[in-house]
Amino acid sequence: MNRFLYRLTSVLCLLITIFTLVCACSKSVSDEVATSHSPQPSLECRVVQHARGETCIPLNPQRIVTLDFNSFAAVLALDIKPIATWITTEIEDDFRYFQEKADGVEILRSSSGQINLEKLALLHPDLIIVVSQPFLKDVYKYASQIAPTVILPWIETKGNWKQHIQDTARILNRTEMGIQLINNYYHRVQQLKKAISNNHHQISTSFAYVSAGRLVITRQKSFAGGILHDIGLLNPIFSGSGDNDLIISEELLPNINSDILFIAPLKKDDYSVIKQLQQKPLWSKINAVQQHQVYLVDFSVWRGLNMLAAYAMLDDLDKYIFNILENHAEI
């Protein structure tokens, strides 16, 4: 009997040992698989708040990937070069105004607007930055499994580019630089305002673009309209319809009574529409046309929604406004 109990005890001990080893090996394999599919947390990181909560990001990220154009431009404005970015529309594909800053950045294009997660994982990012957009609503769930991911408010701020540069600067621990960029913008705005004031000449300005064969006037809530308003140049034409962009018919062309009209084609095909408009009898009734002060500008700049585009737009205004002021001074 004792010998039977001894053997039974030995068998039970052996089974327990085997079970323990199997469980341990299984856990090890599971951990290895999970590790290979999950971002490795940095030994040192700092917690940042963003639109989806909080995330611990590396203290000094080296492989940043941006998943939208506005974040791409904001990171570059802060003198940080991401390793890659996604471009999802034909309009965003043209960024000549900061092309040099983007040298060396891998530009990934997606006509569908969808992010290739497999490609994103192969980039081995250590930080992913993207704004909140309806077509990117599911990105966070998957991107955060690849690397620490930060969602910056965009819909919530109605595309406030000034707020966006500050939000991006905070995430990248460059708050002072973000403040300096904003201050530089307002300094240049004040310089233009002062030059106009010293000239004792009132100037009213409008910006219009052509899209799908139609002329659209932008007002105060647009990117260009907001900058023109900051300077005091925006002509509040058609103000009874609010501050948003307004499609205008050919019959309303004479109502564009601004001294200066900046105009841009949204796409290359829209150049022909502008030429057709210029042949219309009512085109000659526009005040800026009569004063020979209609200027063709780059749509990607004047609708840029980022700090680098704001600086480029101010360059355009410096060029044209100062030239006009000089001409008036000579009269």
Each residue's pLDDT tens digit, 152-207: 999 999 999 999 999 999 999 999 999 999 999 999 999 999 999 988 778 999 99
DSSP state of 42: P
- pLDDT band for 114, please (50, 70, 90 cuts): confident
23 to 32, 51, 290: CA distances (angstroms)? 14, 40, 85
Mean pLDDT within 40-50: 77
pLDDT greater than 90 at residue 122: yes
Strand boundaries in 212-330, DSSP class E: 214-218, 246-248, 260-265, 294-296
pTM: 0.84
Would you state the pLDDT for residue 151? 95
Over residues 62-101, the pLDDT tens digits come to 999 999 999 999 999 999 999 999 987 666 667 889 988 9
- pLDDT band for 26, please (50, 70, 90 cuts): very low
Residue with tokens 């502008």: 274
Highest mean pLDDT among 40-54, 179-193, 225-239: 179-193
Within 10 Å of residue 331's Cβ, how many Cβ atoms?
A: 4
98, 73 in Cβ contact below 8 A?
Answer: yes
* Average predicted confidence (pLDDT) for the chain: 85
233, 203 in Cβ contact below 8 A?
Answer: yes
CA–CA gap between residue 157 and residue 160 (Å, rounded): 5
Strand partners, 148: none
Structural domains in the chain, CATH included, are 45-173 (3.40.50.1980), 200-330 (3.40.50.1980)
pLDDT greater than 60 at residue 133: yes
